[in-house]
Structure 1
Amino acid sequence: MPNVTAHTAGRKPTATPTPPRLKGYRYVGVIGKGSTAYVYRYRQEATERDVAIKVSNTHLDPKSGARFSTEATVMASFPHPNILTVYGAGITGDGRSYIIFEYAPGGSVKDIIAKQGAYPVDKTLDYGVQLASALYLAHRNRIVHRDIKTSNILITAQGLPAIADFGIATSLYDHRSTGYSPPWAPPEVLASNGSGDDRSDIYSLAATLYAMLAGKSPFEYAYAPRSLDELVECIMHKPVLPINRPDVPNAVQQVLMKALSADPADRYFTAVEFARALQDAQIQLYGHATPVTVQGIEPYPARVAIAPAAVQGNLPTAQAPAPKHRKPLIITAVVAAVLAVVGIVFAAVIMPNIDRSQHTTAAVVNPGMNGATSDGEDSDVTDGGGTAVPSPVELSGAYAGDGVKFTWSNPDPQDGDKYAWSVINNGDSASTGAQLTDDTSVSVPASDGAQTCIQVSIVRQDRRMSSTPATVCAVK
């Protein structure tokens, strides 16, 4: 089934436009076409590099001009290695708007799936972390893409996936209908005929990663609808089904299912949280992770747990889960090596950042604070929109029956601040998606074992978050 974009449905096809003559550029050929624009390949004569130039199909059209201007401005305003680079924009001699882009010789993910079939799991996770990083940067700049899909993910000359086509992007706070592509749109977008927010983008990115593994968008894959109306009906009323591929692990399926939840509140709170979940799956499956590439955000997830013995000066004992097929002898050797490295890192890095809370049975760890101290001093890392959001301070936790109450303080309270918190499972990774609260305290059920841990981030009204979550463990 071809993708249908709501804001272009019903338009009459136009004749193939003549490639414009642009000073300093030599026409090479056609890259692609859509209902509103053609994309041509040109050679920039001054640099002898190829570029892609998107040219409107209409002449002297104010709406088209505004859309092209928005796309060029948005894509140039927050450069990122996984967002297609914009080199310039203008109006042709016959009144058509155009934008000059980085040329992506690898084509689109859609084209690659059509030619080569579904992607391997490890490459899909790699792309997912990179694209989620770019998406988070857009959201942090208050921009929602609104049309993430396989045809809008292009492969650059460096082999990187890059988000293209911000033509219907809009402000995070602008909920007016602007357009969407039904196979990749979440239920709330279909129900409102186009309105969506950053959580809608997270859904669409998850649908894109799903298609990389399944070959089709989630509901086309699961239900094989025969019409657009039937597809929309499936998205609105039927569940997303797991991918029927034996080599797609359950850990990956779970991450995608959460991001594809019908209720936006059940999805990952931010694109960087989605990236963290993908990193967790990478570490669990392959022992490595693709870094998150956003200024002010740690590239890798913090994986630190402090047990009571550690506070007394003994080394923590924690080991990463090993694949079941490894032989016991190999596991033993790997664990011994990991423990040795953990010991060195703990002594050199973590111990200086441990602060005893006021409660005698809790330990607080704020790893990777980029120089920020636990008394609330901000690091000097910024995100282009002001001072970096600090981590919570004065964390403590105490057992009370079958539960644990955690409290913290905000070193720089601002109007609209909220707190994203999640329980950490066995000191290894967040066992629950982040939940929001307006309070500086939360009560959770006690975890199995000797300690219960949570991580907490401050969330500003503009959705910027602490560059590093603060972690606290209450000990029985």
Structure 2
Amino acid sequence: MPQRTASTAAHQPAGTPVPPRLRGYRYVGVIGKGSTAYVFRYRQEATERDVAIKVGTTHLDSKAGARFKTEAVFMAKLQHPNILTVHGAGVTDDGRPYTIFEYAPNGSVKDIIAKQGVYSVEKTLDYGVQLASALYLAHRSNTVHRDLKTSNILITAQGLPAIADFGIATNIYDHRSTGYSPPWAPPEVIASHGGGDDRSDIYSLAATLYAMLAGKSPFEYAYDPHTIDELVDCILHKPVPPINRADVPQSLQRVLLKALDPDPAHRYFTALEFARALQEVQIQLYGHATPVNVQGIEPYPTRAAMATAGAQGALPATPEAKPRNRKPLIITAIVVAVLVVFGVVFAQFILPNIDHSGDARTATVVNPGMNGSPGNDDGDDDDDAMTSVPAPIELSGKYVNNNTEVKFTWSNPDPQDGDRYAWSLVSNSGDGDQANAKLVDEPTATVPATDGGPTCIKVSILRQDRQLSSDAVTACAAK
């Protein structure tokens, strides 16, 4: 067993296990500890690069040892700027398993909240899109984290938020109960209805973003429980309240509350849908969005949404000449904004999707980009084409019930067992109503007819493994 050296002892807090001697690495200090491991800082001698090495606190049995090795295998496969990189793994001379990670010198989100206070709305949205992208990549690789929280989001040397500690990650279809942190865990995990899945990760990421804005996890912030039992009771039986910050817009509050819904079926279908909802809030607030960074996935939302934001952002500020002229100028600016936005949306979004029929009560809808084939020849790699979920085809709408409703139907170009369909109404701005998206088993949906304009919906295919169509199909019916 390695002996404690004088230099090592000088760096060791009382009660900390002896850091292992690892060939090619020089011990620097302690970074932190968890329930089953310590994390030490080492210097890789060949490169003079600092790394973080997670070392088990005890000799692990075969099952626990396999779990620790599984973490290294999963993490090494998940190559993403917002997932902490794994450099290697092994077993120490005294039988303790270890994993070598990228060193994140800027601490965790938890540390930053404690030292600097809550995050801005803009930074929270930026982090949210990046982390949801990383989470979607993990879920697409059949890996769930199961313990996302502020202490597991580290800030890299490049200033990027990165998901760390996939120590309880497991196959997405393995629903056995496993470890979790109550403040961040969804009700179904706390109630032992399963160990968690991708929708549980979405909940925990939303709770983490909530804490970035509120300073605490949702139920700690809202109800100030004094014990774990009180906290668990709140999570199981009380609603998540809005964040009491004047600068947190209602659009962001709605996105977080949907992701924190106690019923997993009412949350976002995938982490990608969560990322898209956060991007849409960014576009509404700032006219731009953080890109989704996943191979084979479009980095930004629909072009219609971006065009709408661009039109809004392109409007010059109205100069205020004299007090008596302020009201006419404001009215003029509003009229111009409405006309510009409607013109962009109508020309780029609604008009190309409408094919009027001779019958005033029906309208056939032509799907954008569809020529009778579900695929498109855009030069994507074969691997991406094999794994991507196609969009629905033959989407059309027909007015029914005395023109009070529109019945939409569509086809699945590649039906598979367990396929379902996610659809949402589309507003005049060209955006899908993410907060009220519906999930159906059959390729049809009947919606109330829109007064004074076309009725539009957006539809995606949802696979049994929770993958969603890369590009949703949007179409409209008009009288």
Normalised to the residue count of structure 2, the TM-score between the two structures is: 0.85
Aligned pairs for 1:147-226 (under 5 A) are 147-192=147-192, 195-226=195-226
Equivalent position to 1:443, from 443, 446, 471: 446
Pick one of 451, 455, 461 that aligns with 1:452: 455
Distance in 1, matches of 2:243 and 2:420, equals 35
- How many angstroms does 1:465 deviate by? 1.7
The Cα shift of 1:423 comes to 1.1
What is the match of residue 327 of structure 2? none
The answer to whether the aligner puts 1:33 opposite 2:33 as a matched pair is yes
Q: Spell out the pairing of 1:17-416 with structure 2 (5 A cutoff).
A: 17-192=17-192, 195-304=195-304, 320=312, 328=330, 346=348, 361-366=363-368, 375-377=373-375, 380-381=380-381, 386-400=386-400, 401-416=403-418
- Alpha-carbon RMSD across the aligned residues, in angstroms, is 3.1
Q: 1:469 to 1:245 in 2, by over 3 A?
A: same
Quote the Cα distance in structure 2 between the aligned partners of 1:335 and 1:397: 27
CA offsets, 1:357-404, max 9 Å, x none? 99973443436xxxx855212553566693422111111111212110
Q: How many residues align?
A: 445
CA shift for structure 1 position 32 = 0.8
Q: Structure 1, residues 24-69: CA drift from partner, whole Å, max 9, x if none?
A: 1111111111121111111111122111111111125324322211
Q: Secondary structure at the match of 1:304?
A: helix
Shift of 1:92: 1.0
Aligned to 1:471: 474
Is contact 2:225–2:231 with CA below 8 Å preserved after alignment? Answer: yes
8 Å CA contact 1:260–1:267 kept in 2: the answer is yes
**Distance in 2 between residues matched to 1:335 and 1:450, nearest whole Å:** 15
**1:108-142 superposed Cα distances (whole Å, 9 cap, x missing partner):** 00000000000000000110111111111111122
> Given the superposition, is the C-alpha separation of residues 173 and 123 from structure 1 closer, same or farther in structure 2, using an over 3 Å criterion?
same
1:406 partner letter: F
8 Å contact kept, 1:419–1:457: yes
Contact 1:390/1:412, CA 8 A, preserved across alignment: yes
SS in 2 for 1:162: strand
Provide the rounded CA distance (Å) in 2 between the counterparts of 1:281 and 1:187: 26
Partners of 2:408 and 2:191 lie apart in 1 by: 39
Amino acid at match of 1:461: Q
Runs of 5+ consecutive residues of structure 1 not aligned to the other structure:
1-13, 306-314
Task: Give the CA deviation at 1:241.
Answer: 0.9
Residue 319 of structure 1 and its aligned partner are, at CA, apart by 5.5
CA separation of 1:354/1:65 partners in 2, compared to 1, >3 Å: closer, same or farther?
same
* Corresponding residue of 1:308: none
Cα deviation, 1:430-475, whole Å, max 9, x if unaligned, reads: 1244322221221111123310111111122222221100111111
**Partner residue, 1:11:** none
- Structure having the higher helix fraction is 2
Q: Please say if residues 296 and 382 of structure 1, whose CA atoms lie closer than 8 Å, have aligned partners that are also in contact.
A: no
In structure 1, C-alpha distance between the alignment counterparts of 2:371 and 2:48, rounded to whole Å? 50
Q: Deviations over 1:236-269 (max 9, x none)?
A: 1111111111111111111111111111122111
CA change 1:27–1:336 in 2 (3 A) is farther
The 1:455–1:238 alpha-carbon spacing in structure 2 relative to 1, beyond 3 Å, is: same
Q: Distance in 2 between matches of 1:250 and 1:238?
A: 20
Cα gap change, 1:437 to 1:157, in 2 (>3 Å)? same
Listed as ranges, the gaps of 5+ residues in structure 2 are 1-13, 320-329
SS at match of 2:81: coil
Output the TM-score relative to the length of structure 1. Answer: 0.85
